Amino acid sequence: MDAKINDLYLAYKLFRLFLNKEKYSPFSTLFRRIRKNSIR
């Protein structure tokens, strides 16, 4: 179970790194908007 969570976290970190590289892509702005809405 812990290993699975660790793999997901690693994949998430890589995904975030990819989004940082693609800062100006419409997908990343959409993702940021969704995340901002989900925080509320």
Predicted pLDDT at 1: 64
What tokens were used for 9? 């976290």
Taking the whole predicted model, whether its pTM rises above 0.75 is answered as no
pLDDT tens per residue, range 1-40: 688 989 999 999 988 888 777 666 677 677 778 888 876 5
| CB contact at 8 A, 28 and 16 | no
Query: Do residues 28 and 19 make contact, with C-beta atoms less than 8 angstroms apart?
Result: yes
- Half-sphere exposure of residue 8, counting CA atoms within 13 Å on the CB side? 5
Please tell me the predicted confidence (pLDDT) of residue 19: 72
In the prediction, which pLDDT does 9 show?
A: 92
